[in-house]
């Protein structure tokens, strides 16, 4: 097992990463609290029994989102949970356990942050992508069509990342999660990208996967620790790939992780055309970008204009001077259109 201690002004908390480490959840529980597990139908189907066993002798109450928890990250579901919490008589000593991917974590965290002005909150992430979402304290709900528009910062008291749960993830969720892992690798030293290891091999190699996830969380921590509240300091660099990636995700049929990898190719292309092209080819070898695609600048611009990452008349992209050396590039609409056209012709041809 590996451990990282996250230090914030809201308090410090450990992130524990390993296989079959779930029993550590009992280190933080006491018999006085009621426990509310927030999960979704998929996670519940595969893993709730395991959680039950690990929590014994503690009993808990469950609130279960659907098998598309992203669609449940809404005020409507939040109100349903409030009704449930009041009926159950939960008081401010309640302990909320988020048991699921990023959607469950964001939803449960938002509830924990706001119910009775804040109750105990623990994260038990179950997706690859949640190595990112479970650390850093951002919690949120969607107000369709805008994602994460209602939110807050609320740090968990423990993140228990038991990698045994990853084995039931569907292929596209694995691929999407690796997208964020690759992003963190580029923001660190590029060792994963340089190794060119096959991603299936990595997924099946417990030691190596644990190590890369540990490194990725450590990298995220290094970027957030001086900028916990995301005041356009270091934390903005975690948006590598996300400006264009967000637009691609909204318009084209791509997972978040794949879209941000394509966005990353564009961001690196802005710094060095060959580097952008090289990475595009490597990501293709890794099984991404199977569908031929030409990016449509008009529809992308419309989405990017509404993105909170951008300023009034400037779009902000995060690129790299080298591995681990991010910087921001600002483009106006014409510059963006011209460079996207070039990217289409040189990289996505
Ligand atoms: N708070 C943050 O800092 C932050 C950062 C990145 C992303 N996010 C949020 O995270 C969400 C995306 O996270 P995600 O990719 O984990 O998505 P998700 O929570 O929607 O999970 C993806 C799918 O996998 C299923 N699933 C989860 N665990 C499983 C398991 N072990 N086995 C089988 N199926 C499983 C879920 O039911 C769901 O269908 C988005 O809502 C995004 O906004 C938040
Ligand atoms: Zn992301």
What pLDDT, in 10s, does the model give residues 110-122? 999 999 999 999 9
Residue from 77, 100, 101 whose mutation best tests the ligand 1 pocket (most atoms within 8 A of CB): 101
Q: Which residues of 268-299 are buried (b: 16+ CB within 10 A; e: fewer)?
A: bbbbeeebbbbbbebbeebebbeeeeebebee
Phi, psi of 183 (to 5 degrees): -60, -45
**Contact present, 324 and 341 (Cβ < 8 Å):** no
Q: Report how far Cα 304 is from the mean position of its chain's Cα atoms.
A: 20
**Close Cβ partners of 84 (under 8 Å, ≥ 6 residues apart):** 63
Whole-number average pLDDT of the chain: 95
Other Cβ atoms closer than 10 A to 114 = 17
**Contact present, 106 and 148 (Cβ < 8 Å):** yes
Per-residue confidence at 232, pLDDT binned at 50, 70, 90?
Answer: confident
The protein residue whose alpha carbon is closest to atom 33 in ligand 1 is 169
Distance 84 CA to ligand 2 centre (A): 31
Distance 101 CA to ligand 1 centre (A): 3
Does the pLDDT at position 95 exceed 90? yes
**Contact present, 311 and 254 (Cβ < 8 Å):** no
Does the pLDDT at position 98 exceed 90? yes
Nearest ligand to the CA atom of 133? 1
Per-residue confidence at 16, pLDDT binned at 50, 70, 90?
Answer: very high
The answer to whether the CB of 160 is under 6 A from ligand 1 is: no
Distance 105 CA to ligand 1 centre (A): 8
CA distances from residue 181 to 30, 130, 223, 301, 347 in whole angstroms, order as listed:
35, 10, 14, 27, 23
Ligand 1, closest atom to CA 70? Answer: 20
Give the sign of the dihedral formed by CA 287, CA 209, CA 213, CA 279: negative
Does the pLDDT at position 286 exceed 80? yes
**Contact present, 242 and 158 (Cβ < 8 Å):** no
């Amino acid at each position: 097992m590996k451990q990282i201690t996250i230090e914030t002004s809201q308090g410090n908390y450990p992130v524990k990463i390993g296989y079959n480490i779930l029993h550590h959840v009992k280190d933080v529980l006491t018999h006085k609290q009621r426990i509310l597990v927030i999960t979704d139908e998929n996670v519940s189907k595969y893993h709730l029994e395991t959680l039950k066993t690990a929590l014994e002798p503690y009993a808990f109450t469950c609130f279960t989102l659907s098998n598309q928890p992203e669609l449940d990250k809404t005020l409507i579901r939040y109100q349903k949970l409030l009704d449930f919490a009041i009926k159950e008589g939960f008081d401010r000593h309640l302990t909320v356990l988020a048991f699921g991917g990023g959607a469950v974590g964001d939803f449960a965290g938002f509830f924990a942050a706001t119910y009775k002005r804040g109750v105990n909150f623990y994260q038990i992430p179950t997706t690859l992508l949640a190595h990112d979402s479970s650390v850093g304290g951002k919690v949120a709900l969607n107000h369709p069509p805008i994602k994460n528009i209602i939110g807050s910062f609320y740090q968990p008291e423990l993140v228990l990342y038991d990698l045994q749960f990853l084995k039931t993830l569907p292929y596209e969720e694995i691929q999407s999660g690796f997208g964020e892992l690759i992003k963190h690798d580029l923001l660190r030293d590029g060792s994963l990208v340089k190794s060119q290891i096959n991603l299936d091999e990595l997924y099946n190699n417990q030691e190596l996967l644990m190590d890369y996830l540990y490194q990725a969380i450590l990298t995220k921590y290094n970027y957030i620790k001086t900028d916990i509240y995301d005041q356009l300091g270091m934390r903005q660099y975690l948006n590598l790939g996300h400006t264009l990636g967000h637009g691609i995700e909204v318009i084209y049929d791509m997972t978040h992780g794949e879209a941000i990898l394509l966005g990353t190719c564009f961001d690196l292309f802005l710094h060095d055309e060959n580097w952008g092209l090289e990475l595009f080819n490597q990501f293709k070898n890794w099984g991404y970008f199977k569908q031929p695609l030409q990016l449509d600048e008009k529809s992308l611009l419309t989405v990017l204009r509404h993105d909170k990452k951008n300023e009034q008349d400037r779009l902000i992209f995060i690129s790299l001077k080298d591995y681990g050396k991010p910087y921001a590039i600002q483009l106006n609409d014409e510059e963006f259109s011209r460079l996207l056209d070039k990217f289409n012709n040189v990289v996505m041809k």
